[in-house]
Structures are given as structure tokens and as C-alpha cells.
């Protein structure tokens, strides 16, 4: 899954793709490089980010989604928490909802159920503005797991079929480096529940802490994490560097033909 942030302020590529024509070109390049999904977002979720209005988010993402789906046979997911944006994105051709709030905002669960699209439910402690201010857990894996399973049950109760639900531990969303590493080690436990697991590790701050490198120098670390996540049972990897990640997955699939990552 290739990341397309149509925002002025996302953590790794903020401002790069806020011009719609460049954003669409980049999306098509990621598709050509082997992305099965393009995840289009119009509101930054980096630590400290401020919310944007429904209108501004729509203006950013809807024309881009429409153009991408018209130009190529690539599936688009919409990275949003707002029900209005979910509905407009689906009308524009989006085929999945990626929600870092796991459909907890008012009206989001009902909108997603009505649309009948697959949903990715992500765990986040707190909200982006403050989530990295001393995150605490007594058992991070158990708490993330129980939150995600409860949200999945809520989705099923609202009418979303179980097969349409993906789970995501939310690396870097209200977590220290140690929390992230523990979740990474325990990915097989999350994958064992039978829901496809999506992971976003690409260029994240934990790599800065581990390697000491800036965001634009984290490719090798991102690929190492992609490999580890794939071996841990992840089905979808949300990444910035599509071609290089594709190579990693091709190597993995050559060694272990039954490895889990499909997209």
C-alpha cells in the first residue's frame, strides 16, 4: 500500500504532494512500482498535528481519488476519520476506509457500514496532538489486542462483515519505541485472530531513535521493518518506498512462498 499524503504537514512527505497534479503522478508511479493500494489522506496524523475541517479535507482528497481511479486500475483507500469524507471518497471511487480512530468519531461506524467497504481499524492511544506525551500501558500488546478485537466486534454488530475488517496496531500512535518493538515482536499473536493485519512502519520515528537517521535516510531501516512485519504475519504494508518494499517482499516470497503479505 503506497502512502499519498495530500497535506502540507505530514511527517515524512508533508507538502510534497499538495499539488493535485503531482499527487496523481506520484500515485500512478507507486501503482506502476507494484502498489496494490494507494492510501490517500488529507489530514496529517503526525504527532502534534492539528485537525482540518471537513471542507478542507474534501478539497484535498476527493479530486485526487477521482483522477487516480479514472486513470489506472489501482485500488484506492481513503485515510480519514470523518464520515462525510468517507462517503464522498467512496463516491469518487475509494474501495477501503483506513481510519486511525478505528471508526470511533460520531457517525463514522454507521457511515462505513452503509458504504459496505472494507475498513482498517487502527489502535491509537489519545489523539495526534498529544499522543506522544508519555504514552503508558500496563501491557501494551494485551491492551492493543483487546481494543482492536472490541472495535472489530462493534463493526460486526453494526453490519460490517468480518471478512471486510483489517486490524492495525498503530505503530507510533501513542507508543514509545519500546512499545513499538514489543508490538512488532508480538505481531503473530495479533495475526492469529484471523483478521488481516495492516502495518505502517515506513520512515517512522522509531527508526530515527534506533538508527539516528533523519526521515529521508530511513529506507534501509524501513525495509528491515517491512521484512520483519511480513515474517510476523502482516498482510498489508503501508509504505512510502513502494518499489524497494516490493523487492523485499519478492525475495521473501521466493524463500517462503506461503508468506502472508499479499498487498
Residue 198 touching ligand 9MG (CB under 6 A): yes
Binds ligand 9MG by CB under 6 A, chosen from 65, 76, 94, 122:
122
Buried b (16+ CB within 10 A) or exposed e, 162-175: eebbbbbbbbbbbb
Q: Assess whether 175 carries a catalytic annotation.
A: no
Q: Order the strands of the 75-79 sheet from edge to edge.
A: 2-5, 37-41, 75-79, 96-99, 119-122, 165-168
Q: Which residue has the cell 483507500?
A: 77
Rounded (10°) CA dihedral 76, 18, 121, 93: -30
Closest CB 237 distance from ligand 9MG, rounded Å:
10
- Cα–Cα distance, 220 to 236 (Å, whole number): 19
| Nearest of 190, 181, 173, 203 to residue 234 by alpha carbon | 190
Closest CB 3 distance from ligand 9MG, rounded Å:
7
Closest CB 41 distance from ligand 9MG, rounded Å:
5
Binds ligand 9MG by CB under 6 A, chosen from 66, 75, 179, 238:
238
Q: Which residue has the cell 498529544?
A: 130
Contact segment (CB under 6 A) with ligand 9MG among 26-34, 144-152, 167-175, 221-229 equals: 167-175
Binding to ligand 9MG, residues 45-104 (CB under 6 A): 45, 79, 98, 100
Choosing from 204, 213, 215, 218, the catalytic residue is 204
Binds ligand 9MG by CB under 6 A, chosen from 13, 67, 145, 168:
168
Residue 205 touching ligand 9MG (CB under 6 A): no
Residue 139 φ/ψ, nearest 5 degrees: -150, 95
CA atoms within 13 A on the CB side of 195: 29
Closest CB 122 distance from ligand 9MG, rounded Å:
4
Start-end of H helices in 7-47: 20-32
Pick 118 or 170: Cβ nearer ligand 9MG: 170
Beta bridge partners of 166: 120
- Cα–Cα distance, 260 to 252 (Å, whole number): 10
Q: Assess whether 204 carries a catalytic annotation.
A: yes
Pick 46 or 246: Cβ nearer ligand 9MG: 46
Residue 198 φ/ψ, nearest 5 degrees: -110, 140
Q: Which residue is nearest to ligand 9MG (CB)?
A: 200
Pick 98 or 125: Cβ nearer ligand 9MG: 98
Instruction: Catalogue the active-site residues.
Output: 204, 238
Q: Which residues bind ligand 9MG (CB under 6 A)?
A: 41, 45, 79, 98, 100, 120, 122, 168, 170-171, 198, 200, 238
Amino acid at each position: 500500500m503506497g502512502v499519498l499524503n495530500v497535506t502540507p504537514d505530514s511527517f515524512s512527505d508533508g507538502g510534497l504532494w499538495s499539488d493535485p497534479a503531482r499527487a496523481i503522478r506520484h500515485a500512478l508511479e507507486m501503482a506502476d512500482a507494484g502498489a496494490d493500494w494507494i492510501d490517500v489522506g488529507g489530514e496529517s496524523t503526525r504527532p502534534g498535528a492539528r485537525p482540518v475541517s471537513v471542507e478542507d479535507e474534501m478539497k484535498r482528497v476527493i479530486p485526487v481519488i477521482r483522477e487516480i481511479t479514472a486513470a489506472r486500475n489501482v485500488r484506492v483507500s481513503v485515510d480519514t476519520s470523518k464520515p462525510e469524507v468517507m462517503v464522498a471518497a467512496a463516491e469518487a471511487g475509494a474501495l477501503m476506509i483506513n481510519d486511525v480512530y478505528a471508526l470511533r468519531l460520531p457517525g463514522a461506524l454507521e457511515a462505513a457500514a452503509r458504504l459496505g467497504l472494507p475498513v482498517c481499524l487502527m489502535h491509537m492511544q489519545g489523539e495526534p496532538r498529544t499522543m506522544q506525551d508519555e504514552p503508558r500501558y500496563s501491557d501494551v500488546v494485551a491492551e492493543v489486542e483487546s481494543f482492536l478485537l472490541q472495535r472489530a466486534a462493534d463493526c460486526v454488530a453494526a453490519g460490517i462483515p468480518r471478512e471486510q475488517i483489517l486490524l492495525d496496531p498503530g505503530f507510533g500512535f501513542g507508543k514509545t519505541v519500546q512499545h513499538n518493538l514489543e508490538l512488532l515482536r508480538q505481531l503473530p499473536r495479533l495475526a492469529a485472530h484471523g483478521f488481516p493485519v495492516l502495518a505502517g512502519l515506513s520512515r517512522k520515528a522509531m527508526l530515527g531513535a534506533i538508527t539516528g537517521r533523519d526521515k529521508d535516510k530511513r529506507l534501509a531501516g524501513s525495509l528491515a521493518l517491512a521484512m520483519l512485519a511480513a515474517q510476523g504475519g502482516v498482510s498489508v504494508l503501508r509504505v512510502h518506498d513502494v518499489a524497494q518494499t516490493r523487492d523485499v517482499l519478492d525475495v521473501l516470497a521466493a524463500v517462503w512462498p506461503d508468506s502472508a503479505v499479499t498487498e
